[in-house]
Amino acid sequence: MQVFKLCLCKIARNPLFFIVYVVGLSFMGLAMAAGLTLSQSMEDFERQSTQFAVIDRDDSELSRGVVAYLETQGLRQPVEDSGTGLQDAVAKGGVEYILIIPEGYGRAFAEAVEAGVAPESLESVYSFDAATGVLVDQRVNNYINIVFDLATAESAAGSAGEAEAIGSHAGAVAGGGTAAGLDVGESAGESERLRAGADDASVESAGSWELLASEALEMADAKVQASYMDAAAHSDGAQFLFYLEWSMYGLFAGVVASVCGLNGSLSQTDLRRRNVVAPLTQTSYNVQVALACLVIGLVAWAWDFGVGCVVFRESASALSAPALMGLANALFAFMLLALSVGFLLSKVRCGIAAANAAGNIGGLVLSFMGGVWVPLSVMSAEMVAIAHFLPGYWYTVACEKAAAIPAGLSAQELLVQLGPVAWSLGVLLLFALAFFLVALVVGKARTRD
């Protein structure tokens, strides 16, 4: 095992890449994970109250309904109905949102419902230095659209009732109305009375704006009702999980650079000539070098996982034992991938500078596509599809699936939970095996040359 010992000595004498990437970036990951604030509870949340004003020049049931809805969104402030008063109210920060309802808006709204066209938008003024006014304006438009939809539905129902009544009367006349003693004039008069009654019913139904406004208020409030999730119940192990996902970058860059540095030092001309004439088979030499590279990976894996367990012991202790084992296996599988990539780069005789760049760029790309820098949920479908072809995605999936395994499961339930984790680990190992086989082929070709 002389070659193995020599490799360990070289690793101990040149620990720069290991210290910079594995150790240094792990401390950066610790700082970022420690900055996560996931313990805010539902009681800490307080809905923001908007300071608004309404200039109601219409004073209709519809406008009063709009005002009632706005009062559920904040506190109404009195504002003078003049150009100067409106400008001063917004410029001085007295209100964040002003809604102006013109005279005749309710009548125009009813005509728009009858015509089946969209109503005119209300004029609004809001502060330029905050987005609160924009949000309130969107909510008001949403409320008005709900009222319009309800009124349109009521109007359509009234029209259908009118047509049914007139059709029934016409059928009665055609089927024997004359025989019953009704002449044509009486039949026409009856039809007109039915149509007028249906029109009155339709107008009364569509014109009951107070009822429609009340229904729209309930629907709009249901649409904007926030559903709160207790973050403390979902933050168990979140810091430890984030740290392990962040470690993807440092682990990959450190292992790749260290392995390439070791193999580069062994590829010097004098050492290669000595190995050729030495009574040592090529297989034994490669095995001892591979074991030395494995030591690099094992130390990096133990460092990242151990430091995370020590620093975030409360977060790690909140996870179940199967979850911790799954996370450790996921990190180990990713370490094997980094070893395979470093082994491949060393076989193509990649220089130290090129290996350093490859480790950096590769680690950044894998961590980004794995959702460390930007969550996968906010990425486009095309980016997520591309991420499926990279090992960083499967490492993140394996970590998240493993962290979600609860405690106290039966053997059968545990197998079901471990299924997705095993699948992701299998994909990671296939990536590692593919790079390793390519490295063997390249190394054999280099030996022949």
Residue range 111-119: mean pLDDT, rounded: 84
Average pLDDT over residues 405-417: 89
**Structure confidence by residue, pLDDT tens digits, 176-192:** 444 344 444 444 444 45
Asked whether residue 421 carries a pLDDT value surpassing 80, the answer given is: yes
Identify the pLDDT of residue 159.
53
State whether residue 51 is helix, strand or coil. strand
pLDDT for the residue numbered 242: 92
The pair of three-digit structure tokens given for residue 98, joined into one six-digit string: 């002003």
Q: What whole-number distance in Å separates Cα of residue 420 and Cα of residue 246?
A: 21
CB contact at 8 A, 319 and 400: no
Supply 296's token pair: 């690099």
Task: State pLDDT tens for residues 1-55.
Answer: 777 888 888 888 888 888 988 999 899 989 888 877 544 444 555 566 778 888 8
| DSSP strand pairing (50-56 vs 74-76) | parallel
Res 206 pLDDT > 50: no
Between 402 and 283, residue with greater pLDDT? 402
Domains, the chain: 2-38+235-448 (no CATH), 49-224 (3.40.1710)
100 forms bridges with which residues in the sheet? Answer: 55, 123
For range 247-256, the mean pLDDT: 93
Highest mean pLDDT among 58-72, 79-93, 335-349: 335-349
| pLDDT band per the 50, 70, 90 thresholds, residue 121 | confident
Instruction: List Cβ<8 Å contacts ≥24 apart for 316-321.
Output: 316/237, 316/240, 318/236, 318/237, 319/236, 319/237, 319/240, 319/403, 320/405, 320/406, 320/407, 320/408, 321/407
DSSP strand E in 8-92: where? Answer: 50-56, 74-76
What average pLDDT does this structure show over 87-103? 80
Q: Which two tokens stand for residue 178?
A: 């004359």
pLDDT beyond 80 at 358? yes
Identify the pLDDT of residue 195. Answer: 45
E strand or H helix that includes residue 281: none
Q: In sequence order, what are the residues at sequence separation of 6 or more whose Cβ sits closer than 8 angstroms to the Cβ of residue 187? A: 169, 173, 177
**Tally of CA atoms within 13 A in the half-sphere of 447 that contains its CB:** 13
77 and 52 Cβ atoms separated by less than 8 Å: yes
pLDDT of residue 377 exceeding 70: yes
What's the chain's average pLDDT? 79
